[in-house]
Chains A and B, each alone.
Chain A
Amino acid sequence: MDVKKMKDSKIKRKLIKSFKKSGIKNISIKLNENIIFLEGSVDSYEKYVTAGHLAGNYSIIHGVVNNIVYPEKKETERKKGKDKIIASADVVIVGGGITGCSIARELSKYQLKTILIEKDEDVSCGATKANNAMVHSGIGEEPSTLKQKLCVKGHFLFETLSKELNVPYRRCGMLIVITKDSLENLKLPSFLSNLLASYVIPFIILRRGKKIKVPLEKISRKKILEIEPQLTNRTITGISSPTYGVTSPYEFCIALAENAVENGVDLRLNTEVVGIDLEENRIKSVITNEGKINTRWLINASGVNADEIAEMANDRFYTVHPRKGSTLLFDKSDAGFISHNLSFFQFPMKRHTKGGGAMVTTHGNIQWGPTAIEISEKGDLSVSKDEIDGIFDKYSRLLPNFNKKAIIAYFAGIRSPTFTEDFIIEASKKIKGFIHVAGIQSPGIAASPAIAKMVADILKKEGLDLADNPRFNPTRKKHLVIRDLDFDERKKAVAKNPLYGRIICRCEEATEGEIVNAIHSNIPANNIDAIKRRTRAGMGRCQAGFCLPRVAKILSRETGKPIEEILKNSKESQLFIGKSKCLLEEIDGN
Chain B
Amino acid sequence: METDVVVIGGGPAGLAAAAIASQQQVDVTIIERGIELGGILPQCIHNGFGNFIFKKMLTGPEYAQHYIDLVKKQKIHIKIDTTVLKITKDKQIFATNSKEGLFKIKSKSIVLAMGCRERTRSQILLPGSRPAGIYTAGTTQRLINIDGIMPGSKIVILGSGDVGLIMARRFILEGAEVEGVYEILPHPGGLTRNIVQCLEDFDIPLNLCHTVTEIHGKKRVTGVTVAEMDSSNFNPKKGTERFVSCNTLILAVGLIPENELSKQINISMDSNTGGPIVDNNMQTSEDGIFACGNVVHVHDLVDDVTIASELAGKSAAEYVKNQIEESPLKPVYPGKNVIYVVPQHIRCDLRSSITLYLRVKNIMKNAEIKVIENNDIVAQKKERIVKPPEMVKIDISSEVANKIKKAVKVNVEGELL
Contact = CB atoms under 8 A, between A and B. Distances in A.
A577 B260 CA distance: 34
A579 B117 contact: no
A405 B119 CA distance: 11
Interface stretch (B128-136, B196-204, B284-292, B389-397): B128-136
Interface range on chain A (Cβ under 8 Å from partner): 35 or more
B376 interface: no
A586 interface: yes
B213 A385 contact: yes
Interface range on chain B (Cβ under 8 Å from partner): 35 or more
A321 to B, nearest CB: 20
A548 B120 CA distance: 13
A542 B128 contact: no
Nearest to A381: B129
A81 B94 CA distance: 56
Interface in B172-218: 174-176, 213-216, 218
Contact of A503 (B83, B139, B215, B260): B83
A408 B122 contact: yes
B137 to A, nearest CB: 10
Nearest to A488: B102
Contacts of B81: 502
B102 A501 contact: yes
A411 B130 contact: yes
B219 interface: yes
Interface string B370-409: 0000000000000000000000000000000000000000
Nearest to B173: A584
A190 interface: no
Contacts of A577: 150-153, 247
Interface in A354-403: 379-385, 387-388
B175 A587 contact: yes
Contacts of A411: 130
Interface string B131-149: 1110010110011111111
Main secondary structure of the interface of A (DSSP, over half): mixed
Given A382-B127, A575-B132, A586 B175 contact: yes
Contacts of B153: 577, 583
Nearest to A392: B125
A574 interface: yes
Taking each of A491, A503, A507, which has the highest tally of chain B beta carbons within 10 Å of its own beta carbon? A503
B98 A542 contact: no
B73 interface: no
A499 B101 CA distance: 9
B123 interface: yes
B102 A383 contact: no
Interface string A548-564: 11001100000000011
B100 interface: yes
B202 to A, nearest CB: 15
Contacts of A571: 219
Contacts of B247: 577
24 contacts: A333-B263, A380-B129, A383-B127, A384-B127, A407-B125, A490-B96, A490-B102, A494-B102, A498-B98, A501-B96, A501-B98, A503-B85, A542-B118, A545-B136, A545-B139, A549-B142, A549-B143, A570-B219, A575-B132, A577-B151, A577-B153, A579-B150, A580-B150, A582-B150
Interface of B: 33, 81, 83, 85, 94, 96-102, 117-118, 120-123, 125, 127-133, 136, 138-139, 142-153, 174-176, 213-216, 218-220, 247, 260, 263
Given A549-B149, A580-B174, A582-B150, 13 more contacts: A383-B128, A407-B123, A499-B98, A502-B97, A506-B83, A511-B96, A545-B136, A545-B138, A545-B139, A577-B152, A579-B148, A583-B150, A584-B174
Interface of A: 333, 379-385, 387-388, 405, 407-411, 487, 490-491, 494-495, 498-503, 506-507, 509, 511-512, 541-543, 545-546, 548-549, 552-553, 563-564, 567-584, 586-587
